[in-house]
Amino acid sequence: MILYHHAGACSLADHIALIEAELPYRLVSVDRDKRTDDGRDFLAINPRGYVPALELDDGTVLTENLAILAYIAHRSGRLLPPDGITRWRALEATSFMTTELHGNFKPFFYPDATQAEKDKAAGMLARHFASIAGQLGDGAFLLGDRMTIADAYLFVMLMWAPKSGIELPERLRSYFARMKEVPSVARALAEEGLA
Ligand SMILES: N[C@@H](CCC(=O)N[C@@H](CS)C(=O)NCC(=O)O)C(=O)O
């Protein structure tokens, strides 16, 4: 499989998940001009122009973080329990993060965003991070003792927060420090030149 990605972008979640799932993959990097590092037009691969995109071995291209993460879990039998409430909580948390967290980071990425837009987004992000912090229990991961797709995504959101001036609750700061030491996370960071 090929993961089309950009270093430090939300595609890092899928990269972490592929490593954790022990699925074979190759990384192809996409630049801001939508060119791949092997010289192709990324818009011909994903006309929406977003990373991540996952090219399956038969050439099918899957897009959208939630779908790609769920696919990785399905293919590997890891990162999502087969049934039980934790499976649905993991999908719930990942959906919340792809929409409410990721969506509210957008003003920090757009150079033409106003300070008022950034302030509003920062307030929403602080509320949403507090709500996620409230979900953390005693386990090492968001939903207990086993890593799920929600952890891969949460890690990226937490990595973005300080760069956007968002102060995180202490519980999320220690969660982030723990996650950085998880071998799949450390390897993904190293492969993206972020270690
Ligand atoms: N709805 C998409 C959003 C993906 C997305 O926003 N990707 C960003 C990187 S984190 C991107 O490729 N941005 C490029 C652009 O806006 O042109 C998903 O959840 O996969």
Q: What is the mean pLDDT of each run of 10 residues along the chain (195 residues)?
A: 98 98 98 97 98 98 98 98 97 97 95 95 96 94 97 98 94 97 98 96
Structure confidence at residue 181 (pLDDT): 97
For ligand 1, atom 6: residue with the closest CA: 50
Distance CA 57, CA 105 (A): 33
pLDDT score recorded for residue 79: 98
CATH class belonging to 85-182? mainly alpha
Is the model's pTM score more than 0.85? yes
For ligand 1, atom 15, name the residue with the nearest CA. Answer: 50
Task: Please measure the distance between the N-terminal and C-terminal CA atoms of the chain and give it in whole angstroms.
Answer: 24
- 67 residue type, one letter: A
Q: Do domains 2-78+187-191 and 85-182 have the same CATH topology?
A: no
Nearest CA to ligand 1 atom 2: 64
Cα–Cα distance between 87 and 95 in angstroms, integer?
A: 12
Mutate to test the pocket of ligand 1, among 50, 51, 105, 156 (most ligand atoms within 8 A of CB): 50
Q: Which region, left, alpha or beta, applies to residue 65 given φ > 0 means left and ψ of -120 to 50 means alpha?
A: alpha
Architecture of the structural domain at 2-78+187-191: 3-Layer(aba) Sandwich (3.40)
Query: Residue 9: CB within 6 Å of ligand 1?
Result: yes
pLDDT for 117 equals: 96
Q: Is the CB of 100 under 6 A from ligand 1?
A: no
Domain ranges within the chain, ordered by starting residue: 2-78+187-191, 85-182
